Amino acid sequence: MLAKRIIPCLDVKDGQVVKGVQFRDHQVVGDIIGLAQRYRDEGADELVFYDITASSDGRVVDRNWIARVSAVLDIPFCVAGGICSVEEARVVLAFGADKVSINSPALEKPELIDAMAREFGSQCVVVGIDSHFEDGAYMVYQYTGDVKKTHATSRRTLDWAAEAARRGAGEIVLNCMNQDGMRQGYDIKQLRAVRERISIPLIASGGAGALEHFAAVFKDAHVDGALAASVFHKQVLSVGDVKNFLKQQGITVRI
């Protein structure tokens, strides 16, 4: 059986893992290699590194940390943040990342998804979608990494997810903004709606706070993986706790 994946997400700035308060005042929470190894040892199925150095200041980003991560990790990892072109993706993959995740640049230029899938294969191309429920519809948001730039687009989440899949995305990470950071549970209803529209892997993001939330998102929304950040960073739960609980619930996990 294909195992359901548990995916810790780490924010990286200038090669270190950071934690921000409302996207500001980033504090270093640890060494990137140490944290990556800790999550790997706890049983993480893959890791996502969100490089927040890139988007805000537009300078050339030092990606050497990716090679250091690749050297120690024997599980797959994805790099998100600031990847705006095929060339930028090539650099990230050459450093050893298994996948690249694009979000705002794909909204600016949807053909980027096609171009990256053609160049590297769909399996490398993850499309992240920040979705907000408002006025009875799920709408796509852009530039959510920076409070000042965040804004709604005219795209509907379900349509955009389907378009991204059609253009060659190999996986969708759906970040449900209403739930993000609340630790009240994943947005099952929205995830289920997206699940019904696409037949590529779907990863849930936003809202994990308790063991039951992970079980519910797999049982009720049929997602392929669950991504979480704060619940793991604050050590509310360990990856091992989550996987043991899921196993007890009859959900296939890799232990």
Partner 1 sequence: MIAVVDSGVANLESVMSMLRRIGAEAEVTADAGKIKSASHVILPGVGAAAPAMAQLRAKNLIDTLLALTQPVFGICLGMQVLFESSTEGSGTDCLGIIPGTMKLLPASPDVPVPHMGWNQITLKKPGHPLLRGVDNNSFVYFVHSYAAPVSDSTLASCDYGTSFAAIASVRNFMGCQFHPERSGAVGSQILKNFLDL
Q: Which residues are catalytic?
A: 11, 130
Q: Which is nearer to partner 1, 117 or 211 (CB)?
A: 117
SS3 192: helix
37 interacts with partner 1 by CB under 8 A:
no
Report the nearest approach of partner 1 to the CB of residue 56 (Å).
26
SS3 219: helix
Question: Contact 148/115 with Cβ under 8 angstroms?
Answer: no
39 interacts with partner 1 by CB under 8 A:
no
Part in contact with partner 1 (CB under 8 A); list of ranges 12-20, 94-102, 105-113, 174-182? 94-102
The residues near 249 (Cβ < 8 Å, ≥ 6 apart) are 215, 219
> Which residue in 16, 224, 231, 237 binds partner 1 (CB under 8 A)?
224
124 interacts with partner 1 by CB under 8 A:
yes
SS3 93: helix
Q: Which is nearer to partner 1, 162 or 236 (CB)?
A: 162
Judged by CB under 8 A, the chain residues 128 through 147 that form the site for partner 1 are none
SS3 107: helix
> Which residue in 27, 28, 94, 247 binds partner 1 (CB under 8 A)?
94
> Which residue in 225, 226, 232, 243 binds partner 1 (CB under 8 A)?
225
> Which residue in 198, 204, 215, 246 binds partner 1 (CB under 8 A)?
198
Q: Which is nearer to partner 1, 123 or 248 (CB)?
A: 123
Question: Contact 23/60 with Cβ under 8 angstroms?
Answer: no
Question: Contact 8/239 with Cβ under 8 angstroms?
Answer: yes
- Strands annotated E in the chain: 5-13, 16-21, 24-31, 47-51, 77-80, 99-102, 125-134, 137-142, 151-156, 171-176, 202-205, 225-228
> Which residue in 27, 64, 123, 248 binds partner 1 (CB under 8 A)?
123
Residue 155's closest CA among 206, 103, 114?
A: 103
Binding footprint of partner 1 on the chain (CB under 8 A): 1-3, 5, 45, 67, 70-76, 89-90, 93-98, 119-124, 170-171, 195-196, 198-202, 222, 224-225, 254
